[in-house]
Amino acid sequence: MATAERRGLGRGLGELFQRTETPEPAVAPPDGGEPARERSGNAVSAPATPEAPSESYVPVPAGSRFVELPLDAITPNPRQPRTEFDDDALGELVGSILEVGLLQPVVVRPLGDDRYELVMGERRWRASRQAGLERIPAIVRRTEDHDLLRDALLENLHRAQLNPLEEAAAYQQMLEDFGCTQEELSRRIHRSRPQISNTIRLLRLPSSVQRRVAAGVLSAGHARAILMVPDAAGQERLAQRIVAEGLSVRSAEELAAMGEQGQEPPPRRRRPRELPEGATRVSEVLTDRLDTRVRVEGSARRGRIVIDFASAEDLDRIASLLGVAREI
């Protein structure tokens, strides 16, 4: 379906939320209100009452109800920490929904007047809209405002779907909006306080460096190494060098520790080649203008220019900067 999970919190979401209600062992039919609808004919929504547990089986906590809701009655979570949705992964999910239906319900909270707001599952909601579904399975659960961001953040952390800058912004938003300390946040989302603190520090990076981290051109490890440089101009220079030379996190840390006048990191062993005069300058200018690593390779007689990109969206951005309409 989508790409495999890279990491997780090691706990189910039900345990992470630590609600006072005790989860029931099985999905109960809805009580009054809105009737759950079974899948029939060519409908692609999930059955309201599974016959047996499976990987897509979702226990419903006490006080919640399992129903099918019209897609148009659901609005996105305004506190959703995730801002980037990979088009390719979303397309895979759309294909899966068209083939077997939406197996995992979204979680919503009631707003009144038959309107609901997403708590978790915006990617599934978006894919269902693209797949042409009219109704989707949902767990309706009362959620307070101060829990809305936390629950969305936990889902994305559990699925490893946030880039480091989105994660840092979500942590900072929780601290500011709800007067939460880093120690309290650590206990609530089961992340260590140093990890939260180090992630929030990424927001201090210059905007040009933040863009490269968000695009995946620089890793979170590179970003932390760049933060060792005290001034913004030096941070930008180190970021450019990391991208241009493909430096490892260890090499970046060594450069940051030695300062701008420090010695070069141990060079990678390569067969020396004679490039045309000015090739290095071309590489530096293109790297700076495209905000990604650009290499000039070859010899004085012939060669190639290699432009790195981190995702389909990053490729579109580079193509736009080059004035090229990418054919799909």
Q: Do 245 and 197 lie in a common domain?
A: no
Give pLDDT, residue 139: 84
- Which pLDDT value is given to residue 70? 93
The torsion angles phi and psi of 305, rounded to 5 degrees, stand at -110, 125
Are both 234 and 281 inside the same structural domain?
yes
Q: Does 20 map to a domain?
A: yes
> Domain span at residue 238?
205-321
Find the range with the poorest average confidence among 56-65, 139-148, 190-199, 249-258. Answer: 56-65
Residue 20: the pLDDT is: 34
- Based on the fold, state whether residues 108 and 130 are members of the same structural domain: yes
Regarding whether 215 and 302 lie in a shared domain, the answer is yes
Asked if residue 241 belongs to a domain, the reply is yes
Q: In this structure, are 133 and 221 located in the same domain?
A: no
Residue 272: inside a domain: yes
Residue 249 lies in a domain: yes
**One of 68, 122, 167, 253 is an active-site residue; which one?**
122
User: Is residue 154 in a domain?
Assistant: no
* pLDDT of amino acid 83: 64
**167 and 56: one domain?**
no
Q: Which of 124, 6, 4, 19 is nearest to 74 (CA)?
A: 124
Percent of the chain with pLDDT over 70: 66
Cα–Cα distance for residue pair 285/303, rounded to 1 Å: 18
Min mean pLDDT across 146-160, 227-241, 243-257, 295-309 is at: 146-160
**Does 314 map to a domain?**
yes
319 burial level (CB within 10 Å; 0-12, 13-18, 19+): middle
Q: List the CATH number of the domain containing 48.
A: 3.90.1530.10
Count of domains observed in the chain: 3
Indicate whether 187 and 95 sit together in one domain. Answer: no
Among the listed residues 195, 255, 203, the one whose alpha carbon sits nearest the alpha carbon of residue 225: 255
d(CA 125, CA 72): 10
pLDDT in tens, 31-44: 444 444 433 333 34
Of the given ranges (82-91, 236-245, 299-308), which has the lowest mean pLDDT?
A: 82-91
- Summarize the confidence of residues 100-107 as an average pLDDT: 82
| Residues present in the chain in total | 328
**Looking at residue 293, which CATH number applies to its domain?**
1.10.10
236 is catalytic: no
Instruction: Mark whether 19 and 136 lie in a shared domain.
Output: yes
